[in-house]
Structure 1
Amino acid sequence: MDFRDLPDGRLRVTAQQRDHAAAILREAVVDGRLTVEELNARLPTALNAFAREDIYRILDDLVPAAALPAVVAEQGPMGDGPGMRWENPLLIRSTWAGHHQEGTWDLPPFVEIIGTGWGGVKLDCTRARPLARVIDIVITGNPSVNLIVPDGWGVDVQQLNVSGQSGTINSMVPTRPIGDLPRLILRGSTTMAVKVRQPRRRERAITSG
């Protein structure tokens, strides 16, 4: 496709237009039109796009040509606050005492788990309210992580790098979600154990109660 034939290709794009393009790419991963590897390859272009032509190039096989100008012009209602932008993730810090994120809470599309000590992080999403269909979780600073997700959610751990004697990944959750349920993508690196599971019977009883 000659992107010069599309209208206003040289117009500069806003931060909201970049985020909207990124959201389209992330939705394409959920419904199987893109692989995680393809998402990783295209996402930097979306987030650093200078003009509409840059966005046209990464969406041309996902959006009909006639609809591309309208999609690029659309202002994506991503919202504000920590976790709603790639460059401003929700930060979850683990100290020596560890950190538990549980109960009812909003799970935004961008999360970063930072290990500032050797304490572990328990991220319980059983009653979390997901704010997007694709959730990026980046792990840094070598924390151990225990991730609990509801039935039907998907968790992709293929982008996560673990090393060292204690570095292991134990996931009992499918990579792909059921229907429109969320898909979590774990990235980053750690030298500690990462465990991904669904709630145990006792935890289900507490939640239902």
Structure 2
Amino acid sequence: MEQPEDATRRMRVSDADREHVAEILRAAAGDGRIDVDELDERLGAAYRAKTVGDLVPLTEDLTATPALPGATPARRTNPVVPTGEPTRESGVAIMSGYERKGDWLVPQQLTVTAVMGGAHIDTRRARFSAPEVVITVNAVMGGAEIVVSPQTRVVMEGVGIMGGFGGPSDDSEVTADSPTVRVRGFAFWGGVGVTRKP
């Protein structure tokens, strides 16, 4: 006799459910259980998912218990995906804006210049190209906001000149294997701030 379809699999999923699955996938990539191409493919499917039935196949070969609505979210730890060679990227915001967010690969060295402009760099859903990445921000009459997850270690090495250069002080969720974001540069008549957000 054919078993009736589980009604749970027809339940609509929320953004939090999709993000929970994305966390599992990023952790699996960081552990080497799936490669970068498969990570990209599964993340795309996760963010397009409408029902629990769409999400379950994406993680059933990675976890003992499928991710279902109401599950406790996984700790947000950015996966480290080494690229083999040093990676560098630069951005400029002159009387304009510069933004990086979502699922992107943070290079080992990211340099941003903001002159009478603003920069927004969100690493919470990002993959890191090394266990430690360096973000250099030089702001002149401008500003930059860098957002990291609560589990990301932050090292501040910048200088504020008639401006501000500050970061978080609560490291309670940082662990020995947490990735590190080292923030360097200067803020002249401007501000550079690093905040932790879930």
TM-score by length of 2: 0.51
After superposition, the CA RMSD in angstroms is 2.2
Mapped to 2, the partners of 1:175 and 1:190 lie a distance apart of 24
Give the 3 Å change call, closer, same or farther, for CA 160–170 of structure 1 in structure 2.
Answer: closer
Write the mapping of 1:3-14 to structure 2, written as runs, cut at 5 A: none
Could you list the per-position Cα deviations for residues 31-70 of structure 1 after superposition, in whole angstroms to 9, with x for gaps in the alignment? Answer: xxxxxxxxxxxxxxxxxxxxxxxxxxxxxxxxxxxxxxxx
Q: For residue 187 of structure 1, what is the aligned residue in structure 2?
A: 184
Count of aligned pairs: 114
Mapped to 2, the partners of 1:97 and 1:175 lie a distance apart of 33
Report if aligned partners of 1:124, 1:147 keep a CA contact under 8 Å in 2. yes
| Identity percentage of aligned residues | 20
Query: By how many angstroms is 1:79 displaced?
Result: 3.0
Query: By how many angstroms is 1:97 displaced?
Result: 2.2
Mapped to 1, the partners of 2:170 and 2:129 lie a distance apart of 20
Could you list the per-position Cα deviations for residues 163-189 of structure 1 after superposition, in whole angstroms to 9, with x for gaps in the alignment? Answer: 01xx11332254694221211111121
Report if aligned partners of 1:173, 1:198 keep a CA contact under 8 Å in 2. no
Please state which structure has a larger fraction of its residues in strand: 2
Write the mapping of 1:8-157 to structure 2, written as runs, cut at 5 A: 79-80=84-85, 84-85=86-87, 89-115=88-114, 117-142=115-140, 143-157=142-156
Report if aligned partners of 2:110, 2:136 keep a CA contact under 8 Å in 1. yes
What is the SS of the residue equivalent to 1:185? Answer: strand
Could you list the per-position Cα deviations for residues 132-155 of structure 1 after superposition, in whole angstroms to 9, with x for gaps in the alignment? Answer: 111111122524110100121011
Q: For residue 48 of structure 2, what is the aligned residue in structure 1?
A: none
Report if aligned partners of 1:102, 1:124 keep a CA contact under 8 Å in 2. yes
Q: For residue 79 of structure 2, what is the aligned residue in structure 1?
A: none
Q: For residue 178 of structure 1, what is the aligned residue in structure 2?
A: 175
Mapped to 1, the partners of 2:106 and 2:175 lie a distance apart of 18
What is the SS of the residue equivalent to 1:162? Answer: strand
Mapped to 2, the partners of 1:175 and 1:137 lie a distance apart of 19
Unaligned runs of 5+ in 1: 1-76, 205-209
TM-score by length of 1: 0.49
Report if aligned partners of 1:144, 1:190 keep a CA contact under 8 Å in 2. yes
What is the SS of the residue equivalent to 2:102? Answer: coil
Q: Which amino acid aligns with 1:147?
A: I
